Amino acid sequence: RICLQDHNIRKALRREHGMVLLPFLVYIATHELIHVVRFHTFHQFFDADPEQRAIEEKTVHDLTYRLLKRVRLKGLDRVMGMYEDHRLSV
The average confidence (pLDDT) of the chain is 88
With bands split at pLDDT 50, 70 and 90, how would you rate the model's confidence at 90?
A: low
Specify the DSSP class assigned to residue 84.
G
Q: Which residues contact 19 (CB under 8 A, 6 or more apart)?
A: 12, 13, 75, 78, 79
pLDDT, tens only, 11-50: 999 998 888 999 999 999 999 999 999 888 877 666 777 8
Name the pTM for this structure.
0.85
Say what the pLDDT of residue 46 is: 66
Say what the pLDDT of residue 87 is: 85
Burial label for 64, CB within 10 Å (0-12, 13-18, 19+), is buried
The answer on pLDDT for 68 being more than 90 is: yes
d(C-alpha 46, C-alpha 38), whole Å = 9
